[in-house]
Structure 1
């Protein structure tokens, strides 16, 4: 878990969060590994999960066309949860991944318990929307 905390502290949207807040965020999700070519989420499906990428790379695709490449330090799935909308893109691993997986319930609880987490997710969602519009 201490490695998770160190990796989360390096995520730009979590800059400025206290060690205690980052520790709660790390404990609020489940670290898991994902093989290459695995679909983590599909376009036009409910926003029921999000991930923080600790290691590896992903392809973000809209209508089958790659619109972005993401990797370590990126958050995925936050936009649909923050905006309470269907997914706007599909996300597929291009390499094996290590991620922290959050269910919608985990995120809702963390947003209540750690207001800075809610603010960080909103910043990430706003930045993603601006970069894909």
Structure 2
């Protein structure tokens, strides 16, 4: 997998982040390759992990119905961590993925260390959760 820091720098969503913030995010996550048709997150389960998509596409499904498709630069699983709730949807890979995997602890550490990262995740949470 290409260097996660370099890949993050190529994603326009992160244009406002400093090189130090991007490096912090890359160090906090673990680079993982995920095959197509793989369930990353299951609805109504505890919020124990999150993923930042570097390459590929996922389907977000609520009660088996697709509600969104997400790709590079999008995060999944973080909303439930930020909101301290059970998962509101399932996430399935539609293509092979390159992702950064984060534990709930590493997400919370990033929220403390990077105010801009916190703002971005909190905005995503407000948009995604009812």
Q: TM-score, normalised by structure 1?
A: 0.88
Deviations 1:94-122 (A, max 9, x none): 11110000000111111122222212211
Q: Distance in 1 between matches of 2:78 and 2:69?
A: 16
**Offset at 1:59?**
0.9
Q: Counterparts in 2 of 1:1-133, with a 5 A limit?
A: 3-9=3-9, 10-12=11-13, 14-129=14-129, 133=130
Q: Secondary structure at the match of 2:87?
A: coil
Segments of structure 1 that go 5 or more residues without pairing to the other structure are none
C-alpha distance 110-38 of structure 1, shift in aligned 2 (>3 A): same
Q: Secondary structure at the match of 2:45?
A: coil
Q: Distance in 2 between matches of 1:81 and 1:93?
A: 20
Report the aligned-residue RMSD.
1.7
Q: Distance in 2 between matches of 1:11 and 1:30?
A: 21
Name the count of aligned residue pairs.
129
**Offset at 1:11?**
4.9
Runs of 4+ in 1 over 6 A off after TM superposition: none
Segments of structure 2 that go 5 or more residues without pairing to the other structure are none
